[in-house]
Amino acid sequence: MAQMDKIRLSKFLSYVLRHNPEKFNLRMDEQGFVDLKELIKIVSLRYPEVDEKIIQDLVETSEKRRFEIVDKKIRATYGHSINIDLNLPEIIPPEFLYHGTSRKTAEEIRKNGLKPMGRQYVHLSATEEDAFQVGLRKDIKPVVLKIKAREANFQGIKFFQINKIYLTREIPANFIVSESRLENFHPL
């Protein structure tokens, strides 16, 4: 499967598993898992060459680890707009985490805090560079917000982690300490 087709396939899987399983008559359990064979039937209507090996390869080789397969079931690991229980253990986060966003949205966040905006969780990154990459999806000159994660956790805000992504329900504005535009950062 060509690289561009893998990207399209990943986006389609994200759409189905994060946002619209019911549109495709997929039965999803409370942790967000669907039967892998049922998903392949749906995916193959759009991508006829897709089989279990291609899906398995996509899951195993994806740098962002957007999906996981357990016992012949598959789910998205984060980014859901539908209500599911990812069943993640609570963690103590690093002292600081980062959130990449657009310049326009940064102003709103500084005033009102970080909210999930139609998703279940706010997504945070461990490094400014990772947050910058996320922000590039929203703005050619993204803003990276620095979050006092450990202090927020000590004040009762729960954090979870899935792969390299940190999740929380929201971050009040008082835990956002600074922002940068990483003017000198150049992605490889």
Q: What is the pLDDT of residues 83-123, one digit of tens each?
A: 888 889 999 999 999 999 999 999 999 999 999 988 899 99
- At position 111, the amino acid (one-letter code) is K
Is residue 102 domain-shared with residue 175, that is, in the same domain? yes
Indicate whether 19 belongs to any domain: yes
Q: For 6-18, what is the mean pLDDT?
A: 93
The last residue of one of the domains, among 76, 102, 124, is 76
Q: For position 19, which CATH number holds?
A: 1.10.10.970
Residues 6+ apart with CB under 8 A from 40: 50, 51, 52, 55
Question: How many whole angstroms separate alpha carbon 155 and alpha carbon 97?
Answer: 16
Supply 88's token pair: 């993640």
| Residue in the block written with tokens 């922002």 | 179
Question: Domain span at residue 98?
Answer: 90-180
pTM: 0.79
Q: For position 94, which CATH number holds?
A: 3.20.170.30
**What does 119-183 look like in DSSP terms, one character per residue?**
SSSEEEBSSHHHHHHHHTTT-SS-EEEEEEHHHHHHTT--EEEETTEEEES-B-GGGEEEEE--T
Residues 6+ apart with CB under 8 A from 43: 9, 12, 13, 16, 50, 55
What is the per-residue pLDDT for 62? 81
| Range name among 59-63, 75-79, 165-169, 172-176 with the lowest pLDDT average | 59-63
Contact 174, 150 (CB under 8 A): no
Is residue 99 domain-shared with residue 148, that is, in the same domain? yes
